[in-house]
Amino acid sequence: MRTVALARHGRTAWHAPNRYTGRSDIELDAAGVRQAAALARWAADRGFVALASSDLRRAVDTAAAAATTTGLVPAADPRLRELDFGIAEGHTLADLDPAVAKRFVRDPVTHHFPGGEHPAHAVDRFRAGLAALSERAPDGPVLVVAHSTVIRLVVCAALGLPLAEYRRRLPVLDPTAVTTLRLPAHDAPAALLAYNMPVSEGWQP
Catalytic site residue from 9, 15, 112, 147: 9
Contacts of 91 (CB under 8 A, 6+ apart): 19, 20
Distance CA 38, CA 200 (A): 6
Q: Is 89 assigned a catalytic role?
A: no
Contacts of 82 (CB under 8 A, 6+ apart): 21, 22, 23, 54, 56, 146, 147, 148, 149, 150
Distance CA 100, CA 119 (A): 16
Our CA angle for 20, 108, 153, nearest 5°, is: 80
Is the sign of the CA dihedral 104, 9, 174, 122 positive or negative? positive
CB burial of 111-138 (b: ≥16 within 10 Å; e: otherwise) equals bbbeebbebeebbebbeebbeebeeebe
Catalytic site residue from 15, 27, 82, 201: 82
Q: Is 186 assigned a catalytic role?
A: no
Distance CA 44, CA 29 (A): 23
Q: Catalytic residue positions?
A: 9, 82
